[in-house]
Amino acid sequence: MTSTVSSAPAVRRGTAARHPYLAALTTTRARIGLVLVGAVVLAGLLAPLLSSHAPTAQSGRALVPPGTGGHLLGTDDLGRDLLSRLLYGIRTDLEVIALAVPIGALLGCAFALLAAVHPVLDTVVQRAFDLVLAFPGLILALAVTAILGPGRLPVIVVITLAEIPVFGRQLRAGILVQRERDYAVAARVGGTRRARLLIRHILPNCADPLVVQLAVSLTVAVFLEGAMSFLGVGVRPPEPTLGNSLSQALPYLSQAPYFAAGPLLIVTLLVLGLSLLSEALNRETRR
C-alpha cells in the first residue's frame, strides 16, 4: 500500500519532466506571448475577411477620424482605409519575415556545419561572418538597397544576410563545446563517421539556443522591415507594411494622431509577445 502512495509523486514528476519547450509554453509569460503573437498573426491571415475596403483603394476622403463613413480606424492622407492597410500590412510583414528569418537561420547553420569540417574552412567562414557583422544592420540595409533598389526583395535579403552570422556563430560556439563532451569523444573513438557525428549527435544538442535565437530574430526582422521603411528603402508603397504605414503617419502626428495608432499598437504587441516567448524559452532550456 505504501508503495502505491510513494509512487504517485513519481508519476507526477514524470509528467513535469516534459520537453523543455512544452514546459516553457505552460508558463504565464509564454502564454501571454502566445496570445499576443497569435492574435496579430490571426489578424494578418484573416485580413480579407476582417476588412471591408481594399488596402490601396482611395475613397476621396482623406484623414477622416476613426468611425466615420464606414472607416473603423479612419483614413490616411490619401483617403485609404486605415484598418485594411493595417491588416494587410501585418500580412506583408508576416510574408517577408516568415521567408527571410528561416532562410537566414538555415544558411547560418549550414555555414557553421561547414566550418566544423576543416580549420581552413572555419577561418574563411569566420572572416565572412566578421565582414557581414562589420556592417551594422541598417548600414547593411543601405548597402544592399544601393544594388537592388528599394522593394520587397532587398528587405528579405537584408534580414537574411543579417541573420546568417548570428545563427552561424551561435551554432559554431555550440559545436565547439559539444565536440569535446564525453559522448562525442566516445562516438568518435567508436568509429562514427564525422558527418554522422556532427548531424545526428552534436547538432541536436546545440538546438536549444538556436530556438531561442529564432524568437529573438523574428523581433529583429520586424525592426529591420520598419527601419528600412523609415529610411525610404523598404517595401514600396502603395503596398502596406507595418513599417511604412507608421512612417507615412510621421508628418501627420499633430494633425491626425490616430493615423499612427494602429501600426504603433500592433508592432508593440507583436514584439512584446515575441520577446516574452523567447524569454520563456530561454529560462526553460537553461535549467
Note the residues at the interface with another protein (CB under 8 A): 127, 130-131, 134-139, 142-143, 145-147, 219, 222-223, 226-227, 230-233, 243, 246-247, 249-250, 253-254, 257, 260, 264, 267-268, 271-272, 274-276, 279
**Residue 32 or 114: which CB sits closer to another protein?**
32
Number of other CB atoms surrounding residue 57 within 10 Å: 12
64 Rama sector, left if φ>0, alpha if ψ -120 to 50, beta otherwise: beta
Give 203 or 224: the residue with its C-beta nearer to another protein.
224
CA 244, distance to chain mean position in Å, is 18
Question: Between 103 and 272, whose beta carbon lies closer to another protein?
Answer: 272
- Alpha helix segments (H runs only) across 46-118: 47-50, 82-117
Alpha helical stretches, state H, 149-200: 152-179, 182-189, 194-196
CB-wise, 25 or 227, nearer to another protein?
227
Shortest separation between residue 131's beta carbon and another protein, angstroms: 5
| CB-based contact 225:155 (threshold 8 Å) | yes
Minimum CB distance to another protein, residue 266 (Å): 10
Nearer to another protein, 5 or 120 (CB): 120
Of 187 and 252, nearer to another protein (C-beta) is: 252
Least distance (Å) between residue 12 CB and another protein: 30
State residue 58 phi and psi, 5-degree precision.
-100, 130
Task: Quickly count: other Cβ atoms within 10 Å of residue 28's Cβ.
Answer: 9
Q: Please state the closest distance from residue 196 (CB atom) to another protein, in A.
A: 30
- The nearest distance, CB 276 to another protein, in angstroms, is 8
For the chain, how far is it from start to end, CA to CA, in angstroms?
35
Shortest Å distance, C-beta 273 to another protein: 9
* Nearest-angstrom CA–CA distance, 125 and 129: 6
Measured from the CB atom, the residue of 174 and 226 that comes closer to another protein is 226
Q: In angstroms, what is the minimal distance from the CB of 138 to another protein?
A: 5
Distance of CA 124 to the CA centre of its chain: 27
CA 256, CA 270: separation in Å to the nearest integer?
A: 24
- Return the residue matching grid coordinates 548570428: 166
Q: What whole-number distance in Å separates Cα of residue 83 and Cα of residue 51?
A: 7
